[in-house]
Each structure stands twice: as structure tokens, then as C-alpha cells.
Amino acid sequence: MTANVRAGLFDRQRLLQIADWLALGVAVSLPWSTSATGILLALWLVFALPPLIVGPAWREAATPAGGLPVLLWLLAALGMLWADVTWSERFGGLDGYDRLLTVPVLLAQFRRSDNGALVLYGFFGSAICLLLASWAFALIPALGAHGKFYGVPVKDYIFQSDEFVICGFALLGIAGECGAQLRWRAALQLFAVAILFLANLAFVFTSRTGLLVAPFLVAALGWRLAGLRGVAVAGVIGIALAPVLWLSSSHLRDFTLQSFADLHGYFAANAVTSSGLHFEFLRKSLDIVADAPFIGHGTGSITEQFRRAAAGESDAAAVVTVNPHNQIFAVAIQLGCVGAAVLVAMWIAHFMLFRGAGWMAWVGMVVVIENVVSSAVNSHLFDFSQGWLYVFGVGVAGGMMRKKNAAPSSASRSAGP
């Protein structure tokens, strides 16, 4: 009997060890390959679910950070019942919510694991390799063109900008903490790598999302390092750097001016432009949500609702989309204000998870802030790469925070009478 219990424990521990290594594989592959990430995710679930799903993951699902993502998925599953679209479209709509079910699994796994830091290191290391490749293709013409955009070797410039802004500001915050601890060498090294990430956004290729998110992360970094005084100092530094970057980066200048030109074309002549379509989709989203404000039009209904809204229109107003380019509207169209409220509550719960000290708290907070702010112009939770980046960032760093916070309680119980 005892031997069987020990064998079961050993098997469970071995499964979790394999799951840790597969999670590391997911983190390393995420910046580079959607196919490799998908395969590794499937394998990770095979090894992570058996030892965690019965007890630990259910306990995490009973907390706001782990339970609200599950609640949002349950609402989406119910939302298929009242959607006026085909069942294929309903299940296709549910796909965007499926990854949220893994949040309590990741929280449970890395609450018990000693390898959470290794997973985050793996992602940062992989992103640094991508950063070097991006700079190489941008600075060495002999390498030739690679990828769809200048300086974007793989995937797309939006995801590259998202991960570079997360890595850059995460490393800046960790460098600041190292400086506060008088670890100057580590602080300077981390600061230099952070600047390489952020300079890539300014001089190689950026996105509107990156430009939108950066000021919020600047303010968050200042608050974390020095409270309100830090926010003020960070704001002054940002205002001072803005004209320098504007004058020194033709890419940043051209990209910004083109965005304003796109908006002018849309408002002046209803022209079909990238920036203009964002406003068009937001305008239509408001009307669509107003038609079913409480429980929405059902899961998978986004395309059909925009198809109906575009009927008889012309130019930009005639464009049909599967993505309203706003996460709250993407949920509210399908699940109404009830679903949108659960989404916002989930973001709040995840933000509160990372209120503590330590570098993993800052990394998790950067991931949450980036996702919340970028969701004003994107539906990133429903995108493969950005969605898994958020889920793994919150799950791994959140599990590490759970473990860190539980350690003092365990120590105090051990020291009790």
C-alpha cells in the first residue's frame, strides 16, 4: 500500500516536472513559431492536467484570479445557445475563450513548481534572440529581406512590438530594483538590454499599440519605483525624450504622420484606411451592443452583426470584420454588459495579484497593463500569440506570487506552538 502511494506521488511529481519543461518550451517558441507553440501547448496540457485538475486547479478556480477567466468561458459557452448563427460559427467564437481555462492550471502548477523563473527567463532569452535578429536584418542589407515587414523576421509587427514593449519595460523595472539594491552592474546590464528593446520600437518597426501602451507603462514604472514623485519624474523624462525621438527617428515620424493621414482620409471622405477602420468598427460596435445590451447577440455572432451593419453602405462603412479591434466590444457584442463586466473584473483580479514586491510581480503587472491598454484598439485575448502571451504571463508569474505569499504563512505555522 505504501509503495503504491509512493509510486503515485513519484508519477505525479514526474508529470509536473515534464509539464514545467514543456511550459518552458512554450515560452521559448512563442516569439518565433505559432505551429511549434501549438504543439507544445497540447503536450503541456497532456502532462499538466492529470496531476492538477482534480484538486489544485479547482482550488485556484475558486479564487478571483483563477475563477473569473473560467466564468467568462462559461458565459461564452452559454452564449452559443442564443446566437443567431451556424453552430460552426458558434464554436469558432468559443475558440477565443478556450485558453482562459488554462489560467487556474498555470496558477496551480507554478504555485508548486520551482521552475517558474526558468520559464520567464526562457521567454526573455528567446525574445532577446528575436531582438538581435530584428536589428541584424534592419542594419545589414546584405542579409536580404526576411519576413513581411522591415526588421520583423517572423510573425507580424504588432506581436513583435507587443513583446518588445513588455520585455523593455519589464527589464527597466527590474534594473531599477537592482539599482535600489546597489547592484549596479546588473542594473546597467539590464538597462542596456531594455534600451535595445525600446529603441527597436522607435527606429526599426513599431505599432500604434506600442505607442499607446508606452505612456501607461512609463507612469506605472515611475509609480513602482518612487510613487507619485516617480510618476512625475517619469513624465518629465518622457516629455523630454519625445521630441528627441521624433527628430531622430524617420520611421517613428513617418508612421505617426501616416496614421494621422489615414484618420483624416476616413473622417473627410469615409476612405478605407487602417486607422479609419478602427473608428468605423468602434462606431458600429456601439450600435450593435445597444441592440442587445444585457446578454449580447451570442457567441460567434461578431461577423454576422457587422455584416448586417454594413448592408447597403459604401466605402469604409461597407467593410465587414471578424474583429471589432476592441476587447471589451468583442466580448460585449457576444455576451453583453454581463460578459464585459466579467472581463473587466478578471483584469482587476489579475492586476491585484501583482501588487506585491519582487521582479515577478512587476513582470506580471506589465503583462496585465499592456493587455488592458492595448485592448482599446485590439482584441488580443482572442488572438493566438497575444492571447497565450497574456495567459502564460499571468499564470506563471501569478503562480510564483502565490508561492511567495504562501511561504511566510507556512513559516509562521511552523514556528507556532
pLDDT tens over the chain, length 417 residues:
444 544 444 588 889 899 999 999 999 999 999 999 999 999 999 999 888 877 888 899 999 999 999 999 999 999 999 999 999 999 999 999 999 999 999 999 999 989 999 999 999 999 999 999 999 888 877 676 665 677 788 888 889 999 999 999 999 999 988 988 888 999 999 999 999 999 998 888 777 888 889 889 999 999 888 888 888 888 888 888 888 877 777 777 777 777 777 776 777 767 777 777 778 888 889 999 999 999 999 999 999 999 888 887 777 777 888 889 899 999 999 999 999 999 999 999 999 999 888 899 999 999 999 999 999 888 889 999 999 999 999 999 999 999 988 765 544 444 443
- Reported pTM: 0.90
Any alpha helices (H) in 99-149, and if so which ranges? 103-112, 116-139
User: Grid coordinates 460585449 are at which residue?
Assistant: 332
Q: Give the pLDDT confidence score for residue 10 in this predicted structure.
A: 52
Q: Give the pLDDT confidence score for residue 182 in this predicted structure.
A: 85
- Kindly report the number of other CB atoms within 10 A of residue 243's CB atom: 9
| DSSP secondary structure letters along 328-343 | HHHHHHHHHHHHHHHH
Q: Which residues pair with 149 in a beta bridge?
A: 152
Q: Give the pLDDT confidence score for residue 415 in this predicted structure.
A: 41
- Kindly report the number of other CB atoms within 10 A of residue 37's CB atom: 22
Q: Give the pLDDT confidence score for residue 102 in this predicted structure.
A: 95
Contact of 124 with 167, CB cutoff 8 Å: yes
Secondary structure class of 149 (helix, strand, coil): strand
Angle at the Cα of 249 from the Cα atoms of 248 and 250, rounded to 5 degrees: 115
Q: Give the pLDDT confidence score for residue 22 in this predicted structure.
A: 96
Q: Give the pLDDT confidence score for residue 414 in this predicted structure.
A: 42
Q: What type of residue is 283? A: R
CA atoms within 13 A of residue 304's CA, in its CB half-sphere: 17
Q: Give the pLDDT confidence score for residue 51 in this predicted structure.
A: 83
Instruction: Dig out the grid coordinates for 171 from the structure.
Output: 527589464
Q: Give the pLDDT confidence score for residue 9 in this predicted structure.
A: 47
Q: Give the pLDDT confidence score for residue 181 in this predicted structure.
A: 87
